[in-house]
Amino acid sequence: MPNKIRIKLKEIRGQDLAVQQLLQALQSGKVPHAYLFLGPDGVGKETAAKALARALNCTNPVGGDACGMCLSCRRAAEGNHPDIHVLAPQGSVIKIDQVRELQRQVGFSRYEGKYQVVLFLEADRMKEEAANALLKLLEEPPENTVLILISAKPAALLQTIQSRCVPVRFVPLSPSLLVELLVARGTTADQAELLSGMAGGSIGQALALAGDARYMEARDQALDYLERLTRADAYQLLSMAAELEQQEDLATVLDWMARWYRDILVWQQMGSERLILNRDCWDRVQGLKGWGGNHALALKEILLTRRRLQENVNKRLVLEAMLLRLKRAGRDS
Ligand SMILES: [Zn+2]
């Protein structure tokens, strides 16, 4: 049973082509047995699949889309439409038992809707057995059944499964739309600007970052480290490495350090704040005394360190080397 579906296809933001493709199919009455919704995580694939399921079952559709008022639309909004099914991985995979249970359910006639609609969330998370059962369903689709496979990693699906589905492509959301959506959900405008540059076009990712207080804290810490770096002598550098080593979310702090350097490089190139991620506290960076030097080299050093730390290395030693090199890059010009 899906959760409450209140949205209509026309209300989906930033996916005009996908929505148009779906509405055209609905209007023409030629809806394929199976769709593959593909594109990055957190850009609206699942929402669109649910809106499509609702529209398919609407008894009084408007331009192909759900009316929002008929009994079927209301049941979907309440989250208890008997003909809309959602299959999500249990643990890390969609299990064969889940697919079998589904086969049994769609075998029954529809309760009241026009279509049995089945959403497969993270459809690529299927082992061979389950994938073969799904393939069978795709090869002999029950009448008036629409399967919607949703995946951010479609290449992981069997070729035979992919080829039996009509693809619908979802794209990363634009930064300006992300800002709007974040602000509508209560994020401050400054923070929304910042997160929209980090989230890779994914509202899901942006919201996850917005809700993660540690993430923003790590940004401050990263700037603190860089401020201290400009003043530190060799002894202080080594104790900074010891502190960094203890940092629970070291990777996040390093990512932020890299972004600070990236921002300075962008600023040097463009001479404007427009493309700077950390715009909201840019004054602090510009006020920094003694943070000059070869920032491109420094950025490269941080990214290399980040990669090295994923291997089984002496963490402290790698961090010491990084800070010493950053310090030296700071003297180059
Ligand atoms: Zn309706």
Q: At 166, which helix (H) or strand (E)?
A: strand 166-169
Residue carrying structure tokens 């990512």: 255
In the chain, the percentage of residues whose pLDDT exceeds 70 is 96
From the CA of 70, how far away is ligand 1's center (Å)?
Answer: 4
Is a pLDDT exceeding 70 seen at residue 113?
Answer: no
What is the pLDDT, as a whole number, of residue 268?
86
Q: What is the mean pLDDT of residues 61-84?
A: 94
From the CA of 112, how far away is ligand 1's center (Å)?
Answer: 13
From the CA of 74, how far away is ligand 1's center (Å)?
Answer: 7
- Are the CB atoms for 227 and 288 separated by under 8 Å? yes
Sheet containing strand 34-38, edge to edge, reads 84-87, 116-120, 145-151, 34-38, 166-169
Return all residues near 117 (Cβ < 8 A) that are at least 6 apart: 52, 53, 56, 57, 83, 84, 85, 145, 146, 148
From the CA of 203, how far away is ligand 1's center (Å)?
Answer: 28
In the chain, the percentage of residues whose pLDDT exceeds 90 is 67
CA 68 → CA 24, 52, 73, distances in Å? Answer: 19, 12, 5
pTM equals 0.77
Fold of 213-331: Zinc Finger, Delta Prime; domain 3 (1.20.272)
From the CA of 58, how far away is ligand 1's center (Å)?
Answer: 4
Is a pLDDT exceeding 60 seen at residue 1?
Answer: no
Q: What is the dihedral of CA 171, 174, 180, 186, to 10 degrees?
A: 70
- The CATH number of the structural domain formed by 9-169 is 3.40.50.300
Is a pLDDT exceeding 90 seen at residue 66?
Answer: yes
What is the pLDDT, as a whole number, of residue 191?
85
Q: What is the mean pLDDT of residues 26-53?
A: 96
From the CA of 148, how far away is ligand 1's center (Å)?
Answer: 20
From the CA of 304, how far away is ligand 1's center (Å)?
Answer: 55
SS3 content of the chain, % helix, strand, coil (to 5): 55, 10, 35
From the CA of 63, how far away is ligand 1's center (Å)?
Answer: 11
Residue scoring higher pLDDT (217 or 15): 15
pLDDT per residue over 125-162, tens digit each? Answer: 998 999 999 999 999 888 889 999 999 999 999 999 99
DSSP letter for 93, please: B
Q: What is the mean pLDDT of residues 167-179?
A: 95
| Ion ligand 1 neighbours, Cβ < 5 Å | 58, 66-67, 70, 73
pLDDT per residue over 248-271, tens digit each? Answer: 889 999 999 999 999 889 888 888
Q: What is the mean pLDDT of residues 219-227?
A: 92
From the CA of 68, how far away is ligand 1's center (Å)?
Answer: 5
Cβ burial 5-23 (10 Å sphere, 16+ → b, else e): bbbbbeebebbeebbebbb
What is the pLDDT, as a whole number, of residue 109?
58
From the CA of 6, how far away is ligand 1's center (Å)?
Answer: 11
DSSP letter for 33, please: S
Residue scoring higher pLDDT (66 or 313): 66
CA 174 → CA 179, 209, 254, 330, distances in Å? Answer: 9, 17, 26, 35
From the CA of 51, how far away is ligand 1's center (Å)?
Answer: 11
Q: Return the SS3 of 81.
A: coil
pLDDT per residue over 267-319, tens digit each? Answer: 888 888 878 888 888 888 877 767 778 999 999 999 999 999 988 789 999 99
What is the pLDDT, as a whole number, of residue 333?
59
From the CA of 113, how far away is ligand 1's center (Å)?
Answer: 11
